[in-house]
Amino acid sequence: MKSASAFESAKRRMKERPQPGSLRPMLAVLARPAAPLPGKGWIFEPKLDGQRCLAFRLGRSARLLSRNGRNISGNYPELVHALLAQPAADFIVDGEIVALKRGLPSFEALQPRMQISDPGRALRSGIKVFYYLFDLLYFEGHDITALPLELRKGMLGNVISFSGPLRATPYGRSGKGKAIFREQCRRGGEGILAKRAGSTYVQKRSPDWLKFKCAGGQEFVIGGYTEPGGAREAFGALLIGYYRGGRLVYAGRVGTGFDARTLKDLFERFKPIGQKAPPFADFGESKVPREGVHWVRPELVCEVRFGEWTRDGLLRHPSFKGLRTDKRPEDVRRETGLDGPGFKK
């Protein structure tokens, strides 16, 4: 196999073990908008606007697992087929599933596929998807998460034959971060990820991976909705929040970013989870609306793009992007930026 040289040279640093049935993905820490990009010893990748996915190939079986461990193989059967066509038969890879809109990854374009778990219906949807891989975690009976990222990336390029829907995530090394970030923002992309070249893969959020966003955006929990106004049907705006200390905190209302189909779909989802009491812990404060509001159990998570946070803790210019099925509501927190280690101006 063409990966033999890279595999043999690193073999003494690997842990031999059976392939695990699941793994938690390594997650990045948000960097503050004003934070300078890190310098020497970092790798830079475009931040892809899609669905995080770990893929497991073992013999004649291949599975796709979402960020929260849900099996999404039925949503993307063409990706399963592509993984089964690989010459290597024992590996775990990490990456992002995306759909393109005007040449850029678009979470909105991927939304319909995320909701279809029947393989036949998914293929007939006409929505083309790609799996951009950026990490190799396990190979031929060996756990390689303790190897440095730079070496894992080199092995990934040798293990996987990139063709069809399988794509290699492009990346640049030290000194390329600013150029990659500016190009992503110029094209309307999400931003970039800065990853320490020597970092190991850990199953948690780590400052060894940092995300720099062109604009604000994160997940929120839906806690209610307002009555529609004017010609709009179904509802007017979503009332959203995040968890802090086990309590749901109000973050504002989102009234843009919906098309007619999305309005109808969300309204149908609200019907079985309606409740009389507001789920927000800070309902007694004046910023949570009271008139013309319908409350729902906080079970649905959505992705929202916004400009910034106001001084009183609300979102400025929020816009709905889509539902997320790969994150539990209780795991949704307000993202706060860090000045990561190793930064240089």
Which residues are part of the catalytic machinery? 47
Using an 8 Å Cβ cutoff, are 236 and 256 in contact?
no
Using an 8 Å Cβ cutoff, are 95 and 135 in contact?
yes
Using an 8 Å Cβ cutoff, are 19 and 58 in contact?
yes
Q: Regarding beta strands 27-30 and 205-213, do their DSSP bridges make them parallel or antiparallel, or are they unpaired?
A: parallel
C-alpha span between 74 and 4 (Å, rounded): 32
Using an 8 Å Cβ cutoff, are 63 and 95 in contact?
no
Q: Which residues contact 113 (CB under 8 A, 6 or more apart)?
A: 75, 76, 99, 122, 125, 127, 129
The CA-based angle 330-331-334, given to 5 degrees, is 105
C-alpha span between 309 and 317 (Å, rounded): 9
- Give the chain's radius of gyration (CA, Å): 21
- Cα-to-chain-centroid distance, residue 158: 25
| Helix, strand and coil in the chain, % to nearest 5 | 20, 35, 45
Using an 8 Å Cβ cutoff, are 152 and 196 in contact?
no
Q: Which H helix or E strand runs over 154?
A: helix 149-159
- Cα-to-chain-centroid distance, residue 116: 18
Could you give the 3-state DSSP secondary structure of residue 27? strand
C-alpha span between 156 and 128 (Å, rounded): 24
Q: How many other CB atoms are there within 10 angstroms of residue 192's CB atom?
A: 28
